């Protein structure tokens, strides 16, 4: 019985793998939008709903059905931008879209320019595009299509230049446009006393996979915003590592190995695989309709006081039921109840029928062997 319940075919393996991948993507997405606690809360409510269905709590189940129906619409409204970005990322992965790959000289030029701008306390904002398109997030600007050089970046962000307050968008080794306006973030906890450039850098990092480099005009520090996080670098030289890590994450360079990321990825993968296997275990084979024959003990009840039971023939009966595998797995005991009150009327043979069997309602009685039970009694 256990072997048949766990018997996996190739289609089941593929089924579990696809569901595990989707669950892993959902977990990763909730981490990125900082909705992990919300996902856990929804999971708990889903568990309560399943328990209510199992215990046949009809009112509770009905309320949860209406709640989940409204929740779908609410999630689409609240996470509209995040869902749109998720679909764009799926399309980018499916189309194997890769960002233009800059050479080592381009990253060196970016680091050199940011370092000089920081030393001179000249404000600057540079966007290094990732895998996702930025067209719907950036506005305005002047098309440049020029190679990235330190001199060109310094000239763009000169305070006297008309476009120094905007952002420079870099794709590969080319400056696509400058004097571009970015969406502003309202994350007050991360922005604290930072200015508009940092708000713009964080705003775009919250909506895309781009890396934004912001140079503070007041402090001369260099900050990077990526993945919805804003960090100030302790040394300008650290910008090279941030750029390399960003290019590796977007697929332009081989990804470096970081134990923290590996550990979190393994935990997410194991969690997704466990949920997928558990779902398959309870839903797929558990819902399969099968016929099972069990040996049921005969229980005699309601024997009149003036009679004493001597023997039951047979003591057990083979009864065949039909139902889901889950129902059989969750069923412990099934009894055949013989109502001996009719012994007073001379009855000694009793048919094995549906009403005489103590079994769950989701199991259907098919047949019994033998179909009758005989009791031997003597009068006191």
Give 315's contacts (C-beta < 8 A, 6+ positions apart). Answer: 297, 298
User: Comparing C-alpha atoms, which of 194, 143, 198, 136 is closest to residue 169?
Assistant: 143
Inside any domain, residue 352:
yes
Query: Quick one: 314 and 264 in the same domain?
Result: no
pTM of the predicted protein model: 0.52
Query: Quick one: 151 and 177 in the same domain?
Result: yes
Region 179-194: what's the mean pLDDT? 84
Domain boundary among 249, 267, 300: 249
Region 84-97: what's the mean pLDDT? 59
Model confidence band, residue 212 (pLDDT cutoffs 50, 70, 90): very high
Amino acid 268: pLDDT: 72
Query: How many whole angstroms separate alpha carbon 201 and alpha carbon 179?
Result: 14
Query: Quick one: 296 and 201 in the same domain?
Result: no
Give the CATH number, domain containing residue 127.
3.40.1700.10
86's tokens: 């998720």
Amino acid 291: pLDDT: 83
Amino acid 323: pLDDT: 81
Amino acid 174: pLDDT: 85
Region 327-338: what's the mean pLDDT? 74
Query: How many whole angstroms separate alpha carbon 183 and alpha carbon 139?
Result: 9
143's tokens: 């098309």
Residues 92/209, Cβ–Cβ less than 8 Å: no
Model confidence band, residue 107 (pLDDT cutoffs 50, 70, 90): confident
Inside any domain, residue 211:
yes
308's tokens: 């004493």
| Burial class, 335, CB count within 10 angstroms (exposed 0-12 / middle 13-18 / buried 19+) | middle
218 pLDDT above the threshold of 50: yes
Q: Are strands 357-358 and 211-215 parallel, antiparallel or unpaired?
A: unpaired
Amino acid 254: pLDDT: 42
Query: Quick one: 242 and 359 in the same domain?
Result: no
39, containing H or E segment: helix 36-54
Inside any domain, residue 254:
no
Query: Quick one: 114 and 142 in the same domain?
Result: yes
178 pLDDT above the threshold of 80: yes
Inside any domain, residue 348:
yes
Alpha helices in 157-306 (DSSP H): 188-191, 196-207, 238-249, 259-283
pLDDT tens for each residue of 7-20: 555 766 787 788 88
Backbone angles phi, psi at 216, to 5 degrees: -75, 130
Query: Quick one: 117 and 244 in the same domain?
Result: yes
User: Comparing C-alpha atoms, which of 21, 13, 14 is closest to residue 271?
Assistant: 21
Determine what percent of the chain is predicted with pLDDT higher than 70. 76
Query: How many domains does the chain contain in total?
Result: 3
Amino acid 1: pLDDT: 43
Q: Which residues are 323's β-sheet partners?
A: 290
Residue 244 lies in domain = 104-249
Model confidence band, residue 91 (pLDDT cutoffs 50, 70, 90): low
User: Comparing C-alpha atoms, which of 161, 132, 130 is closest to residue 144?
Assistant: 161
Inside any domain, residue 40:
yes
Amino acid 125: pLDDT: 92
Inside any domain, residue 210:
yes
Query: Quick one: 120 and 242 in the same domain?
Result: yes
């Amino acid at each position: 019985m256990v072997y048949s319940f766990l018997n996996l075919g190739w289609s089941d393996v593929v089924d579990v793998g696809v569901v595990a991948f989707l669950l892993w993507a959902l977990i990763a997405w909730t981490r990125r939008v900082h909705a992990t606690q919300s996902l856990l809360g929804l999971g708990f409510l889903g568990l309560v709903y399943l328990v209510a269905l199992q215990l046949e709590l009809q009112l509770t189940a009905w309320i949860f059905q209406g709640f989940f129906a409204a929740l779908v619409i609410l999630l689409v409204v609240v996470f509209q931008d995040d869902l749109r970005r998720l679909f764009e990322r799926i399309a980018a992965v499916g189309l194997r879209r890769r960002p233009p790959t800059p050479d080592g000289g381009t990253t060196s030029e970016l680091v050199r320019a940011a370092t000089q701008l920081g030393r001179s306390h000249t404000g600057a904002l540079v966007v290094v595009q990732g895998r996702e398109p930025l067209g719907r997030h950036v506005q305005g600007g002047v098309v440049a299509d020029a190679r990235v050089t330190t001199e060109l970046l310094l000239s763009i962000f000169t305070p006297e230049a008309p476009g120094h307050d905007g952002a420079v968008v870099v794709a590969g080794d080319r400056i696509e446009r400058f004097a571009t306006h970015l969406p502003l973030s309202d994350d007050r906890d991360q922005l604290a006393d930072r200015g508009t450039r940092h708000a713009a850098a964080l705003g775009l990092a919250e909506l895309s996979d781009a890396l934004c480099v912001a140079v503070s005009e007041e402090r001369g520090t260099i900050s990077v915003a990526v993945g919805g996080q804003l960090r100030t670098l302790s040394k300008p030289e650290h910008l090279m590592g941030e750029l390399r890590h960003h290019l590796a994450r977007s697929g332009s360079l081989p990804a470096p190995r970081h134990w923290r990321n590996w550990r979190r990825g393994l935990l997410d993968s194991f969690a997704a695989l466990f949920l997928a296997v558990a779902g398959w275990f309870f839903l797929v084979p558990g819902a399969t309709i099968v016929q099972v024959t069990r040996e049921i003990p005969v229980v005699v009840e309601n024997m009149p006081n003036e009679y004493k039971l001597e023997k039951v023939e047979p003591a057990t009966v083979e009864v065949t039921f039909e139902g889901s595998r889950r129902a059989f797995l969750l069923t412990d005991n099934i009894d055949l109840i013989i109502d001996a009150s009719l012994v007073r009327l001379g009855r000694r043979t009793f048919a094995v029928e549906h009403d005489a069997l103590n079994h769950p309602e989701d199991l259907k009685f098919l047949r019994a062997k033998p179909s009758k039970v005989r009791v031997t009694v003597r009068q006191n």
